[in-house]
Homo-oligomer: A and B are copies of this chain.
Amino acid sequence: MILLKNIFLNPKVNEVLQINGWIRSIRKMKNVTFIMLNDGSCYKSLQVVLPKCQNDGLTYGSAISVKGALKCRDRVQNQDLGHKRGPQLELQAELVNLLGENNWKNYPIQKKPMSEDYLRSIPHLRLRTSTMAQTMRLRASILRELRRFLDERDFIETNPPLITSSDCEGAGETFQVIKKNIKRNGTTKQEDDLPSTIEFFNRPAHLTVSTQLHLEALALALNRVYTVTPAFRAEESKTSRHLAEFWMLELEQSFIDELDPLLHLAETLIKSVARQLLRTKHMYMESKEGYLTDRWQSLLNPWHRLCYDDAIHMMQRSSRCWNFEPKWGTDLQSEHEQWLTHEVGNKPLFVTDYPSAQKPFYMKDSTPKKSACFDLLFPEVGEVIGGSLRKDAKQELASAPKALEWYKDLRQYGSAPHGGFGLGIERLVSYLAREPNVRECIPFPRTAGMLLC
């Protein structure tokens, strides 16, 4: 069983192959039938030519198995099918086997353009559209390169817990985890019963908003650690950049006492991903080819750094009309982030040394009232990475939540300077795949009021 991906990478013309896939389009002519077959392994489809007598029950969307010889032929004669010119691989099928019919009259995935909102209402089927499938393959390549880069630099992959007793940043918007006593009536559950909850863990349990605190414990044992992990925020805000369940790469490195190595790591990490995508672009291309290549290529240019003070000054000096006036001591708004990345040439931008008063208890100071921290802002998607050095002396952690005695422990028993960052996977995919909404960057998006499948 050979995948289309490998046929296109290494075509063996005249060989007899058996290929499985789904019919992306079908055109029944007088003597033959043309099929564009896709098997999900890559963006491209393969043209299959069948004798007419074999097309019974074959429709758009059905799953088939075909056997035949691989040929290479000139494409001009099929130009009316919208193909590009030039030689084209083609399978001359001898045998066709219908594996799964498509009830195509009711099929929610039609060949006409469909809105993203509509497609989000059928997440289990929208994965079959060539755009979503392409983004999912891109996501996989991005994850693979992120890990490869960190493995090579001796970061140890680890799995801190998702169910936690603390709520990392005190942000409050956490989900709680309970065990519900489900009463059964015959075979159906009475979901409308009042829940009889049980404290399974003998204490309140939350879903993590960030694994950072646990990663710190791991870094102070294993030196350099990372995790690619789901995290959860019960935020009501419905924006194109937020999900209730999202994935992060979080890493923590011991024995660093400056921000610079973290910024360097973040920059080389993402540039390495861009380079890898450029090397393997034949796997993703066609529909958005030019756009994406330019985008990935431009990431390889040098990136800018600004401290928070300078960022505020730059904005205050500009003549732009702001919805939120830039003011020292306040958070950067989305419009500020957009403007700043635009000003530095539509490129990624590090903003460092935010006022400590805005930042969580665990961040180390760089100078009085400033934190040794950074955000990495990207055009369009905003913050992709946030990181900092962490306070490593126990006396600095007086303001830590009471439940975090264990976290303070780390500082009295052989503490070491350390720092790290968290990278939002969906936001990175959003930028790299040029998908403006993170809901198209994860297979089954979860947001307030939205839990389909």
How many A residues touch the partner, as a band?
35 or more
Q: What is the oligomeric copy number?
A: 2
A272: min CB distance to chain B, Å: 17
Residues on B with C-beta less than 8 A from A109 are 413
A109: min CB distance to chain B, Å: 8
A11 within 8 A of B: no
Query: Contact at A406–B63, with CB atoms within 8 Å?
Result: no
Query: Contact at A204–B191, with CB atoms within 8 Å?
Result: yes
In the bound complex, how far is the Cα of B226 from the Cα of A170, in angstroms?
A: 34
Q: Knowing A177-B176, A451-B203 touch, does A99 contact B416 (C-beta < 8 A)?
A: yes
Query: Contact at A214–B125, with CB atoms within 8 Å?
Result: no
A365: min CB distance to chain B, Å: 18
Query: Contact at B124–A409, with CB atoms within 8 Å?
Result: yes
Residues on B with C-beta less than 8 A from A99 are 255, 415-417
Interface centre among A65, A128, A174, A205 (most CB of B within 10 A): A128
Interface with B: A75-83, A88-96, A151-159, A350-358, which one? A151-159
Interface with B: A310-318, A368-376, A432-440, A442-450, which one? A442-450
Query: Contact at B176–A178, with CB atoms within 8 Å?
Result: yes
Residues on B with C-beta less than 8 A from A39 are 223
A232 within 8 A of B: yes
Contact flags (1/0) for A35-55 with B, using CB distance below 8 Å? 000011100000000000000
Residues on B with C-beta less than 8 A from A22 are 414, 416
In the bound complex, how far is the Cα of B125 from the Cα of A413, in angstroms?
A: 9
A416: min CB distance to chain B, Å: 4
Indicate which residue in B63, B108, B166 contacts A416 across the interface (CB closer than 8 Å). B63
Residues on B with C-beta less than 8 A from A160 are 443-444
A230 within 8 A of B: yes
Interface centre among A22, A164, A255, A449 (most CB of B within 10 A): A255
A182 within 8 A of B: yes
Q: Knowing A200-B175, A453-B406 touch, does A444 contact B247 (C-beta < 8 A)?
A: no
